[in-house]
Amino acid sequence: MKITFADAVPADAGLVAHIANRGSLPDSIETVLAEGAKAARFKGSAGQVFEGFVARGDKTVRVAIAGAGEANADKRTSNLEKAGAALAAKYLTSGEKRIVLDVSGAGLDADALASVLLGLRLRSWRHDTYRTKMKDDQKKTLTSVTVVGASDGAEAAWKIESALCEGIEFARELIAEPANMLYPESFVERCRSALEGTGIEIIAMDEAEMEKHGMGALLGVGLGSDRESRLLCLKWNGGAAGQRPMAFVGKGVTFDTGGISIKPGPGMWDMKWDMGGAAAVAGGMVALAKRGAKANVVGICGLVENMPDGRAQRPGDIVTSMSGQTIEVLNTDAEGRLVLCDALTWTQKEFDPVAVVDFATLTGAMIIALGNEYGGIFANDDDLADGLMAAGQSSGDKLWRFPLSPAYDKLIDSPIADMKNIGGRGAGSITAAQFLQRFIDKDRPWAHCDIAGMVFDEKPGHTWGKGATGYGVRIIDRYVRDVLKG
């Protein structure tokens, strides 16, 4: 979606859109449109759209009014995004190629307008790469937005938000791709392409290098696949030289059959998005680099494919992690924690980060607990947890905190190894977090975000269509802005 700014409504404008708060209409709206809106019960609620046609000069112009809700609502930013997203949803396949967004007199400051544009652009994203037969009314036609009447600073504010959009769109692209196209090696190459010229340093470890580091837990997951595993590191030095970085770590299982503990067939196709945590981290790093964040940040992605074949690890096998701790693998479908534990150990040893946050589509139990409304967060540090939850609340990628407690440790103790990779039937998300905590250095602030229910949606949301959401990118970006002041 191309977004540009202009001083006046172009003479050839065929579709002109306005933003209206609840209970009011722009002064420039013709009487016939105002009467039509009233008759149609348009109230300016967030995401509500009214459309009409009027004669302007010798042309008939299509006019849309999108509601942004109450001007002083607590959810103002979200409502503005909904207004922009509603315009995208309505006109994406309408035959219109351009929206002229006239915000003259709308009272939108630079940040408010940027929120409208962010919603509009994000909602216009689709993954049509493999669709070769579509009816005309299914094809995406809307390609650009021209903004008129913007306040001072609007273009600069949009430049920052457009970088965030690029990060979210990249994460969505990775999640949407099928596993025959996206696997550990191609994930790395897509990141190289997306980050070319940004100044990010890219390190990609192959299996031989990981073996030298003793990453037996991560490597064990990929034994049954013909696709080689990778550990990807994206290093951004935008802060003070020598300052310890913030670290974000993502689970990147590019396809998860469950391994020998194979999943049921129905719904297994969804497991192409089991790399949603790694996608969030990669997308977050794109956003930070594209906007030139003034902070030192590293993003690490453990990339594997979990397949069953004659070489695959078996239930009951014992693996040795990079930390030296041994793990009894009772269920090969509890593989994400095996990937993360080695990625977390390497991250801490390599970078000594000020804090570590991991993102993972880790447990089905999290979906049972929270559905598709919140991601779960576990943390050993209250300040870190509070910062992440505030970032989630303000960005719309919401998090809900769960407990960590030594009382749960006994559930993952093993009689023949240091631990087992599953607990009992209860507290499945908590025991997974307890497992990961065993690989965190003493006094290291750490948080685990279980986002299993959030990276893919079977129904459209307010800034996405059905499919990949890009969840997590906004948490990373907002946390760096607000807490790291980057």
How far apart CA 221 and CA 338 sit, in angstroms, is 7
Distance CA 401, CA 91 (A): 38
Q: How distant, in Å, are the alpha carbons of 107, 200, 474 from that of 194?
A: 36, 10, 18
Alpha-carbon distances of 265 from 56, 262, 268, 271, rounded to whole Å: 58, 9, 5, 11
Q: What is the largest CA-CA distance in the chain?
A: 84
* 390 alpha-carbon distance from chain centroid: 16
As a whole number of angstroms, the distance between CA 27 and CA 228 comes to 61
Tokens of 74: 């607590």
For residues 468 and 273, is the Cβ–Cβ distance under 8 A?
yes
**8 A C-beta contact, residue 314 and residue 261:** no
Tokens 């940004």 belong to which residue?
198
Helix (H), strand (E), coil (C) string for 339-377: HHHHHHHHHHHHHCCCEEEEEECCCHHHHHHHCCCCEEE
Q: Among this protein's residues, is 263 annotated catalytic?
A: yes
Catalytic residue among 230, 290, 337, 478: 337
Q: Where are the beta strands (DSSP E) in 185-332?
A: 201-205, 230-237, 246-256, 296-306, 317-320, 326-329
Reading the block at residue 61, the tokens are 């112009």
Q: Where are the alpha helices (DSSP H) in 69-153?
A: 76-91, 110-123
Question: Which of 192, 263, 438, 444 is labelled catalytic?
Answer: 263
Whether 98 contacts 7, CB under 8 Å? no
Give dist(CA 68, CA 49) in Å, integer.
Answer: 10
CA atoms within 13 A on the CB side of 411: 19
Residues carrying an active site annotation? 263, 337
